[in-house]
Structure 1
Amino acid sequence: MTKQAPPAILVDGISKTFEIPTEGAHTLKERALHPFRRGAVRKMRSLRNVSFHVEPGEFFGVVGRNGSGKSTMLKTLAGIYGIDEGAIHVDGRMSTFIELGVGFNPDLAAYDNVMLNAQMLGLGRAEAKARFDKILEFAELGDFADLKIKNYSSGMLVRLAFAVMIQVDAEILLIDEVLAVGDAAFQQKCFDEFERIRESGATVILVTHDMSAVKRFCDRALLLERGTVVAIGDPEEIGDQYLDMNFSRDAQAEVAAEIAADPDDEETSADVAKISLAGTVNHDRDRHGNGKAEIVDSWIENADGERVEVLPFGTPCTFAMRVAFHETVENPLFGMTVLTDQGVTVFEPNNLDLPPMGVFEGGTVRESRITFDSYLAPGRYILTPSICKDESALEWFDRRPRMHRLLVTGTVKTLGTMHPPFTLDVTTPTDDQAVSA
């Protein structure tokens, strides 16, 4: 019988609490007069009975909102922080990449910094020297080798740090938020390196907010919330849970309830401030129209008729809008503009090609509903409802730019902004259709 290999990392019920001073000595005189006085502190539990394991060769993701305890947990694994309870077992040589460029000396050139940083990360001096040209080539800094790094731009600095990081030959890698470095071309190089690391058989724990990276690289993922394990499992399911936790109204209400129970928790307050940016935006400062009709409410519904801000890819949805007519108008145009978060128009359904809508008397209220399947590519979108005179965008009755944000979740891989169903067949041509080679 083959003996099963032990986990590369075993975390068993760890907890970590920080003490945050609420007052202290502000002057040397205060400290001299009261040398033994201990100021009041507030305790903040960053990790609460966290348990999980990572198998050898597994690419393991850790996700969670700001203040959930992700980075604290990584630092306990690295031995930077001690733990109050529980145990951590590590089987293999570990390298930690928590902050790119830690230990760089701004008054030294690239060569000296690479030598120092590489040795801090576990490479011998001879190894670091042998790999220097490769490091500079990857970082695209060959023309700046002799320049002191205090004269580097921030992008040049993180490219150099990342290039050093990937040269370390460790069995276990702890990586915290290092994917978003450099421009788009360099980020693609980073992704290629992560594919290489994954195929090399190294064990990796990746802490990130990038759900596409989690779904692309990770074998399993863990979701943390306020220091507690919410779920461990399939990266796609964990990613969807994370997105729902960030953007759904239920998640916002849940965190608001937590604040009511623990109003002094500044970490949670920061979370609420962040997630409150989701959903309805109501940028009425950009609103315009002549007031003949007014959009008094609008919302997005899922297939069950529930108001939502998050939709799974490929599911039916409805954009509804309630309009109050203050004057009588004839054949108005009800419309919606869907844009990417970069402002590119993707989809603009309206009733322009439908039969005339007729006359809407002043003092009446009507509701328009546009139903479609959300084959928008996974990502964030901005929705703008509007109503105007038929076939005349010059006379707006009411237009409310960026009234809603919509998040479409899923793992569809496409370079486009929409990905509707399609079929693709490959056949053998008949003799009269064939062409000579």
Structure 2
Amino acid sequence: LAVGDERFQRKCFRRLEELKENGTSILFVSHSSQQIVELCDRALLLEQGQRLLFDNPVTVVRAYHKMIYAKPADQVSMIQELKELDRGNGTKQDAQLVTPPKESTSPQPDTKEIISETDFYESGMIPQSTETYPIQGARLDGIKIFNSEGREVNNLLAGREYNFEIRGAFLEDRESVYLGFHIRSTTNLEIAGQIYPLWGKYIRKVDRGQRFKLTHKMKMNLTPNVYFAGGGIWSTAEPVCMHKIMDAIMFRVLPKAENRAFGYVDLAVGEPEFDIIEE
């Protein structure tokens, strides 16, 4: 799957889908986290030939990321925690560190949902799957969503513009720093993301004690459903990942009274046109 052009890769993926539909067991070995989440029903995390965790793909991928971004001194204890979790002896708190989101995975809303004409904030919308990576030179304090009136919201109207505001602080002097922001589905599919400043570009220098605010202005073209947002701070120096939070917040795109879109993104820019062609 790592070779060939896009057409060949798509052909391979389609063949895997056919095998799954026919009930064939497939052993898929990969370093691509996204492909594991998309293709696999179960995942096995190995470290130097040792089994660490066998669970659903989202749980295993998050455990893997948490381990590789941890400080070397913390990895030994983390490996032991994963082994205990794998044996079913992990504490409830341990389990929450790698628990995937527990919302509906359907990309379409319940047709019985009440249609709202205004966006609003719901205090009870707090993800149970938030995962914080080690703080190694920077700290993300949180992500908030604001509407055009400056009000914080987490129930959004499709087609409206919103500001996703990320705040944090730098705890060390660093060079060549960049920030990332992502939106994921309930199944951990990465739907959209933004890099700041640009791919291949960096914030030249940051100083210890500096605080920052980064705002991404986005048009909400996602289809009605629940989504999760997170972000991270990286640099070209070790440790590369200065801080990262998965599922920092969750938000809902509200259902519309009239809707023809399906999937995750509504790309339409107007009404469709239908004509009968007379031959």
What letter is aligned with 1:420?
A: L
Give the 3-state SS of the residue equivalent to 2:247 in structure 1.
coil
1:307 equivalent in alignment to 2:152: yes
Shift of 1:417: 0.5
AA aligned to 1:239 is I
How many Å apart are 1:297 and its aligned residue?
A: 2.8
CA contact (8 A) 2:234 2:242 kept: yes
Q: 2:112 aligns with which of 203, 208, 214?
A: 214
Aligned counterpart in structure 1 of residue 183 of structure 2, from 333, 338, 342: 338
Preserved CA contact (<8 Å) 1:283 1:400: no
Separation of aligned partners in 1, 2:128 and 2:165: 16
Cross-structure match for 2:174: 329
In structure 1, runs of 5+ residues without a counterpart are 1-183, 185-209, 216-237, 253-275, 430-436
What TM-score does the superposition give when structure 1 sets the normalisation length? Answer: 0.34
Partners of 1:404 and 1:356 in 2: CA distance: 26
Q: Superposed, which structure 2 residues align to 1:346-361 within 5 Å?
A: 346-351=191-196, 352-353=198-199, 355-361=201-207
| Structure 2 alignment gaps of length 5 or more | 1-104
Whether the 8 Å CA contact 2:184–2:190 is kept in 1: the answer is: yes
- C-alpha change, 1:348 and 1:240, in structure 2 (3 Å) is same
Q: Is the 8 A contact 1:211 1:239 kept in 2?
A: no
1:409 deviates by: 1.0
8 Å Cα contact 1:289-1:395 kept in structure 2: no
Question: Helix, strand or coil for the counterpart of 2:112?
Answer: helix
d(CA) in 2 for partners of 1:393 and 1:300? 31
Name the CA shift for 1:375/1:354 in 2 (closer, same or farther; >3 Å).
farther
Q: Cα offset for 1:357?
A: 2.1
Q: 3-state DSSP class of the match of 2:115?
A: helix
CA shift for structure 1 position 301: 1.2
- Aligned letter for 1:369? T
Whether the 8 Å contact between 2:178 and 2:202 is mirrored in structure 1 is no
What do residues 166-196 of structure 1 show as CA deviations (whole Å, max 9, x unaligned)?
xxxxxxxxxxxxxxxxxx9xxxxxxxxxxxx
Q: How does 1:3-402 map to 2 (within 5 A)?
A: 212-214=110-112, 238-240=114-116, 248-249=121-122, 252=123, 276=124, 278=125, 280-281=126-127, 286-351=131-196, 352-353=198-199, 355-389=201-235, 395-402=240-247
- The structure showing larger relative contact order (alpha-carbon pairs under 8 Å, at least 6 residues apart) is 2
Question: Is this contact kept in 2: 1:301–1:319, CA < 8 A?
Answer: yes
Distance 2:212 2:229 in 1: 20
1:211–1:383: structure 2 CA closer, same or farther, 3 Å change rule? closer
Paired letter, 1:415: F
Residue identity in the other structure for 2:121? S
Identical amino acids, percent of aligned pairs: 15
User: How far is 1:305 from its partner?
Assistant: 1.9
Shift in Å, 1:356: 3.0
Offset of 1:212 from its aligned partner? 3.1
Once the two structures are TM-superposed, the CA of residue 211 in structure 1 deviates from its matched residue by 6.2
Deviation of the 1:393 alpha carbon: 11
Q: Name which one, 1 or 2, has greater alpha-carbon Rg.
A: 1
CA separation of 1:288/1:349 partners in 2, compared to 1, >3 Å: closer, same or farther? Answer: same
Q: Is the 8 A contact 2:136 2:239 kept in 1?
A: no
DSSP-derived class of the 1:349 partner: strand
CA spacing shift, 1:331–1:307, aligned 2, 3 Å: farther
Alpha-carbon deviations, 1:69-119, whole Å to 9, x = none?
Answer: xxxxxxxxxxxxxxxxxxxxxxxxxxxxxxxxxxxxxxxxxxxxxxxxxxx
**TM-score, structure 2 as length reference:** 0.52
Aligned to 1:404: 249
Runs of 4+ displaced beyond 3 Å: 280-284, 421-429
- Paired residue secondary structure (2:134): coil
1:145-167: per-residue Cα shift (whole Å, max 9, x none)? xxxxxxxxxxxxxxxxxxxxxxx
Amino acid at match of 1:398: H
Is residue 259 of structure 2 the alignment partner of residue 415 of structure 1?
no
Alignment partners' CA distance in 1, 2:238 and 2:184: 18
* CA shift digits 1:244-292 (9 cap, x unpaired): 7xx734xx5xxxxxxxxxxxxxxxxxxxxxxx2x1x43756x3113420
Q: Return the offset for 1:403.
A: 1.0
